Amino acid sequence: MFHGSAEGLILKIVTYGEADLLVWVLTPEFGPLRVLARKGLRSVKRFGGRIFLFNRLEFDYSRRRDDEIAFIESARLVEIFPGVFTDEVRFGRAALFAEVLLAAWGEGDPAPEACGFYLEFLRKLERGVQSADRFVLDAFRLLEILGHRPVLDRCASCEKPLDGSKMYSVNEGGAVCENCAKDEKIKMTGRGGTLPFAVTAAVRKTVEKSYNTDPGHLDRLKFSAKARVEAFDLWIEHIKALLGRTPKCIRYLSEFERTSKRK
């Protein structure tokens, strides 16, 4: 039996059986770690309501073998984010990034940068200081942390200068020249998938600039309302290509994002 301690952020909780909780915790050392809290619904002494979505915990765990699920023995609360649950948009944003991290990051792969990013993201949501523009830029930052930063300064396929091309390919991972866009359309016709599509220069330039801007200054970058929607739709296409599906939280979040009066 192996015993250890870890710290992390709760990404997902599922009731398991009558009283147990199956919990996914994003940890710096192991990425998303799946653990079982036996009698987690009933044991006030061991858990006392500390196992709650997005909570930051320190916890002790045990497991018989590396390939078996771990069991939480005890948990200590480090940080909570009640403000995230005060409106649908904040909650939707937090849940969307949690879903993407859980689906795209392999268990056992260290994730210190992802943990730091998501922790700061939750803190911004908690304070209510994240604008709609900053959320979209954070979404592209998450894409970079996942190892899928879009290529925007050259053709993502042939690596030649773009020469004014507005075409974009999620399959190639970035902007593409007109010739490569035509070739990809020919190859993919009748095969399904996402064909190359046009992306405005304003969106490409703002996203590219965000990757070269100090994180502390990202709030200075702005989209027009139309460009913000286009940029977020572009990010969604990237995530769909990465996960092989549309995240479940997209529909929920998009409904409230479009009706929200946030600027």
Q: Which residues of 154-168 are buried (b: 16+ CB within 10 A; e: fewer)?
A: ebbbeeeebeebbbb
Q: How far is the C-alpha of 203 from the C-alpha of 22, rounded, in Å?
A: 40
Residue with tokens 């995240």: 247
Residue that is last in its domain, among 82, 107, 133 = 82
Residue that is last in its domain, among 38, 56, 82 = 82
Are residue 59 and residue 104 in the same domain, yes or no? no
Q: How far is the C-alpha of 24 from the C-alpha of 95, rounded, in Å?
A: 13
Are residue 134 and residue 248 in the same domain, yes or no? yes
Joined together, the tokens standing for residue 36 give 């079982």
Q: How far is the C-alpha of 159 from the C-alpha of 151, rounded, in Å?
A: 9
Q: How far is the C-alpha of 100 from the C-alpha of 107, rounded, in Å?
A: 13
- pTM (two decimals): 0.91
Residue that is last in its domain, among 64, 82, 100 = 82
Q: How far is the C-alpha of 66 from the C-alpha of 103, rounded, in Å?
A: 20
Q: Yes or no: say if 10 and 54 are a contact pair by the CB < 8 Å rule.
A: yes
Give a yes or no: residue 236 inside a domain.
yes
Are residue 108 and residue 37 in the same domain, yes or no? no
Number of domains in the chain: 2
Q: How far is the C-alpha of 12 from the C-alpha of 23, rounded, in Å?
A: 6
Per-residue pLDDT at 263: 41
Are residue 8 and residue 59 in the same domain, yes or no? yes
Bridge partners for 167 per DSSP: 198
The H or E element spanning position 97 is helix 88-104
Are residue 7 and residue 128 in the same domain, yes or no? no
CATH of the domain at 22: 2.40.50.140
Extract long-range pairs of 176-179: CB within 8 Å, 24+ residues apart: none
Per-residue pLDDT at 259: 58
Are residue 122 and residue 55 in the same domain, yes or no? no
Give a yes or no: residue 13 inside a domain.
yes
Give a yes or no: residue 187 inside a domain.
no
Per-residue pLDDT at 69: 86
Per-residue pLDDT at 177: 97
Domain carrying residue 109:
86-145+223-259
Are residue 106 and residue 68 in the same domain, yes or no? no
Are residue 8 and residue 101 in the same domain, yes or no? no
CA nearest neighbour of 97 among 33, 131, 61, 141: 141
Give a yes or no: residue 150 inside a domain.
no
Are residue 61 and residue 106 in the same domain, yes or no? no
Bridge partners for 157 per DSSP: none
What separation in angstroms does the CA of 25 have from each of 98, 108, 197?
Answer: 10, 12, 37
What average pLDDT values come out for the chain (263 residues) when binned by 10 residues? 90 88 95 86 67 94 80 92 94 97 94 97 95 96 97 96 94 96 90 89 96 92 95 96 94 71 45
Are residue 109 and residue 67 in the same domain, yes or no? no
